[in-house]
Amino acid sequence: DAGVTQSPTHLIKTRGQQVTLRCSPISGHKSVSWYQQVLGQGPQFIFQYYEKEERGRGNFPDRFSARQFPNYSSELNVNALLLGDSALYLCASSARITGPSTDTQYFGPGTRLTVL
Amino acid sequence: QKEVEQNSGPLSVPEGAIASLNCTYSDRGSQSFFWYRQYSGKSPELIMSIYSNGDKEDGRFTAQLNKASQYVSLLIRDSQPSDSATYLCAASFYNQGGKLIFGQGTELSVKP
């Protein structure tokens, strides 16, 4: 079975630009979460979607937005890019959002975003 | 106080030894705990999940959970050089929608 897929793999943008990152969850999974990981730190939670509804939002500015589509794939958008947005952006999918074993999150390969 | 804390390391062990990785958490509302392994430049890979007090074994890996002490650990037996990676501890907070809160990770180096 295919795991979580993300595109693109790498991305280079300049300050002020906008970027869209894409994620497809594991087949049958209805929840997608987005995380930002900067070098030397653990991933930081950005958004969680379940059944196409936003179920959680982390401490990120309004420049960050996301959505989930009817096929459960998801997009993360970041506007007005700053140098500090350079990071590995991770998408994780789970079957559900609560409950033992069903809330286990599996990560995709990530998108490496570099802002110049 | 951080919600999930790990020693950043690096932790260095000889090949064949037991590596012990520790994690503490501050929110008693946490109900699910996870250990992920992350190789440099790669994404986190799930090793173990644990939900109940006690030990859970999977091959060379044993996760231990003590909710009273708010403590989670991961033991790696017969450590191999291929186990050299950063190990991330994560807690799922049901009262916050099930999002994962990660520690900063512990870097493990297994020397041949």
For chain A, say whether B36 makes contact (Cβ under 8 Å): yes
B73 vs B71: CA distance, rounded Å: 7
Q: Residue B93: what pLDDT?
A: 74
Cβ-contact B107, B86 below 8 angstroms: yes
Over 80: is that where the pLDDT of A49 sits?
Answer: yes
Q: Residue B9: what pLDDT?
A: 83
Q: Which residue out of B32, B40, B100 would a mutagenesis test of the A interface target, given it has the greatest number of A Cβ atoms within 10 Å?
A: B100
Over 90: is that where the pLDDT of B1 sits?
Answer: no
When CB atoms are compared, the residue of A40, A58, A103 closest to B98 is A103
Cβ-contact A50, A96 below 8 angstroms: yes
Owner of token pair 């999930």: B4
Side-chain half-sphere CA neighbours of A80 within 13 A: 5
Within 8 A of B32 by CB-CB distance, chain A residues are: 100, 103-104
Residues B50-85 pLDDT 10s = 999 999 999 999 999 999 999 999 999 999 999 999
Handedness of CA B36, B37, B43, B45 (dihedral sign): negative
How far A15 CA sits from the closest chain B CA (Å)? 23
Q: 3-class DSSP state for residue A43? A: coil
How far A66 CA sits from the closest chain B CA (Å)? 15
For chain A, say whether B102 makes contact (Cβ under 8 Å): yes
